[in-house]
Amino acid sequence: MVLVIGGAGYIGSFTCHALAQRGHKVVVLDDLSSGHVEAIDARWLVRGDFGDRSVLRAVIRDHGVDAVMHFAAATGELQSTTDPAGYYRTNVIKTLELLATLQECGVPRFVFSSSGAVYGDARFPIAENGPLRPQSCYGRTKLAVENALEDYRVAHKMGYAVLRYFNAAGASPGGERGEDHRPETHLIPALLDVAMGRREAFVILGDDFETADGTAVRDYVHVEDIAQAHVLALEGLQPGQSICCNVGTGRGTSVRETISAVEQVTGLRIATRSGKRRSGDCAVRVADSNKIRGLLGWSPRYTDVVAIVQTAWAWHRSHPHGY
């Protein structure tokens, strides 16, 4: 049985469905503060706080849990700069309580949803052995958990996998499941909000980066590809082993290129305004994903931002108000 912490959230819910399709039994622990029960099979859900050790013990005992995937986190690099206490409390302190409970209960495998934010402003494409210099509080909390996982492996033989992914995006091709954050801060759904008439214009946060068109370049990875990477990591993980892999396409797309892709898919002009770049934003963040391709046999199905936008647009049209 796989316990998915934060399994009603965006990436967690897609991973739950990918696990079920591969024949894994799933139980979800989520407080629904940002997740949606409509995104999963409601029979999987146990509603609760992953920082509550009594709840964790009961779920592990009652469901015979032998592996955990951890997606629950405070996210957003910009927001983390104004609420460091909240980010450390949720992302680090609660996760340490989670790890202590797993060690106590003898759960031998743990898959952690980390982030490319642990690299900061690195040369690209970014490989796993590159320098870890997170430039945001969010990135530092993710790196803190990664360090704790290695210490747990050495001390308690807990096997863990760390997946550092780069800008999750997209939805299920048929529009059944997608991205529903409130407020929405991610680029592609924010642009589609303009197309849907929910925003007057999109603000480009920085047009003076050292890139070809002056806007930031990112590696957009389809959420189904990220979910598949997590499943493969779980299936390839042994107790006492560690796996650390990037999850990315290796292809960078600028903000302006993404705007053009949205206009191509929707057939609509996207109104934009220029704004100041955010503190800590790097010019380029693109993954070297050769390791996960060779180690786990993973490869992305979606390698072009237009194809990713097409799935997101299908979700927005079928669910104009989200879940």
Which CATH number goes with the domain that contains 43?
A: 3.40.50.720
Is the pLDDT assigned to residue 24 strictly greater than 70?
yes
Enter the tokens of residue 291.
């390791």
In a domain, 299, yes or no: no
Helix (H) or strand (E) holding 109: strand 109-113
Enter the tokens of residue 285.
């963040």
In a domain, 272, yes or no: no
In a domain, 286, yes or no: no
Q: Return the pLDDT at 78.
A: 66
Q: Any idea which residues carry the catalytic annotation?
A: 138
In a domain, 79, yes or no: yes
In a domain, 301, yes or no: no
Percent of the chain at pLDDT exceeding 90: 86
In a domain, 40, yes or no: yes
| Per-residue confidence band for 124, with pLDDT thresholds at 50, 70 and 90 | confident
In a domain, 255, yes or no: no
Mean pLDDT of 262-269: 98
Average the pLDDT over each of 70-79, 112-121, 216-225 and give the range with the smallest value: 70-79
Give dist(CA 18, CA 6) in Å, integer.
Answer: 15
Q: Give yes or no for a contact between 21 and 77, defined as CB atoms under 8 angstroms apart.
A: no
For the stretch 232-251, pLDDT in tens is: 999 999 989 999 999 999 99
Tally the domains of the chain.
1
- Long-range CB pairs of 204-210, under 8 A, 24+ apart, other chains included: 204/255, 204/256, 204/272, 204/273, 204/274, 204/275, 205/275, 205/276, 205/277, 205/278, 205/281, 206/275, 206/276, 206/277, 206/278, 206/281, 207/274, 208/277, 209/277, 209/281, 209/283, 209/284, 210/283
In a domain, 310, yes or no: no
Domain that holds residue 225: 2-166+221-247
For the stretch 271-320, pLDDT in tens is: 999 999 877 788 899 999 999 999 999 999 999 999 999 999 999 999 99
